[in-house]
């Protein structure tokens, strides 16, 4: 079941992609339309960089509004172990598969810290989720996704991205928005490459 899900997600994510992956300053080429075109043009003007190893944990805490003293010892220990997998210089050429895996691993830990924090204060990212003593209320997944992207991607999610995530919401969660669902959506959002891109 899980294997099928992952394979289908891979397939879905890559179908129709003919252009090669390129890391660096680039332009969109001709023929782009609408949102896609503006994105490409904006990127063409920008200088490339990725979040440095010294920045990654403060960046995640900062974008999530998580106070430094709410980062758990477990997350700090995890970061120590993963540190070398992130870029020391911020050069985009340092992007690697282990770096993306490390990002995912770290995301799970810091999301756990965020859930604990919101349990003890108020629900911000997880509005409507059943966490701690908060009861489940109506959850607008689009809003949750946009909250994470605006906070940690440096931009709002595109509508197609929101739809993609929503349409692949695991059946196991259905409309049960509990701590597992909170951990899932948070980890997924923080594991996106946009979190690393400056």
Q: Which stretch binds other proteins (CB under 8 A): 85-93, 114-122, 129-137?
A: 85-93
- Could you give the 3-state DSSP secondary structure of residue 183? helix
Residue 10 is a binding residue for other proteins (CB under 8 A):
yes
50 binds other proteins (CB under 8 A): yes
Binding mask 56-75 for other proteins (x = CB under 8 A): --xx--xx-x--x--x----
- Residue 84 as a binder of other proteins (CB under 8 A): the answer is yes
Half-sphere exposure of 95 (CA within 13 A, CB side): 16
Rounded-to-integer distance, Cα 147 and Cα 124, Å: 9
d(Cα 51, Cα 88) in Å, to the nearest integer? Answer: 9
The stretch among 91-99, 113-121, 131-139 that binds other proteins (CB under 8 A) is 91-99
First to last CA, the chain: 36
Contact yes or no for 196/107 (Cβ under 8 A): no
Stretch 100-139 residues interacting with other proteins (CB under 8 A): 100-101, 104-105, 107-108
| Piece in contact with other proteins (CB under 8 A), picked from 113-121, 129-137, 190-198 | 190-198
């Amino acid at each position: 079941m899980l294997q099928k899900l992952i394979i289908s997600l891979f397939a879905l994510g890559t179908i129709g992609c003919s252009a090669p992956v390129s890391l660096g300053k680039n332009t969109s080429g001709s023929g782009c339309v609408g949102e896609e075109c503006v994105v490409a043009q904006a990127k063409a003007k920008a200088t490339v960089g990725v979040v440095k190893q010294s920045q990654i944990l403060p960046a995640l805490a900062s974008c999530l509004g998580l106070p430094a003293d709410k980062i758990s010892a477990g997350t700090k220990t995890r970061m120590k172990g993963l540190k070398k997998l992130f870029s020391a210089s911020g050069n985009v050429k340092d992007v690697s598969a282990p770096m993306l895996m490390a990002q995912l691993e770290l995301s799970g830990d810091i999301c756990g810290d965020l859930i604990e924090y919101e349990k003890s204060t108020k629900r911000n990212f997880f509005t409507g989720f059943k966490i701690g003593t908060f009861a489940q209320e109506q959850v607008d997944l689009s809003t949750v996704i946009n909250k994470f992207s605006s906070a940690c991607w440096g931009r709002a999610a595109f509508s197609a991205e929101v739809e993609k995530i929503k349409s692949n919401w695991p059946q196991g969660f259905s409309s049960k928005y509990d701590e597992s669902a909170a951990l899932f959506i948070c980890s997924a959002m923080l594991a996106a490459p946009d979190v690393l891109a400056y």
